[in-house]
């Protein structure tokens, strides 16, 4: 089994929002974009 941690890409936004919603977090429209646009090298995805 391997686990990849990588910088998030714009195409990952819908996936990350879906994960948050599945965990009971209700991100507002544009919330993720604010973090990504502020520091696009500081948002990571593990898969």
Q: For the chain, 47 residues long, give each residue's pLDDT as a single digit of tens.
A: 799 999 988 888 888 888 888 888 876 767 777 777 787 777 888 88
- Whole-model pTM? 0.60
List all residues 6 or more positions away from 32 whose beta carbon is below 8 Å from its beta carbon: 13, 16, 17, 43
C-beta of residue 46 within 8 angstroms of C-beta of residue 2: no
CA 20 to chain centre: 8
Q: How far apart are CA 25 and CA 30, in angstroms?
A: 14
Provide the pLDDT for residue 4.
93
């Amino acid at each position: 089994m391997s686990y990849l941690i990588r910088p998030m890409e714009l195409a990952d936004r819908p996936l990350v929002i879906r994960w948050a919603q599945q965990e009971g977090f209700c991100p507002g429209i544009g919330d993720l974009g604010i973090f990504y646009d502020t520091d696009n090298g500081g948002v990571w995805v593990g898969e």
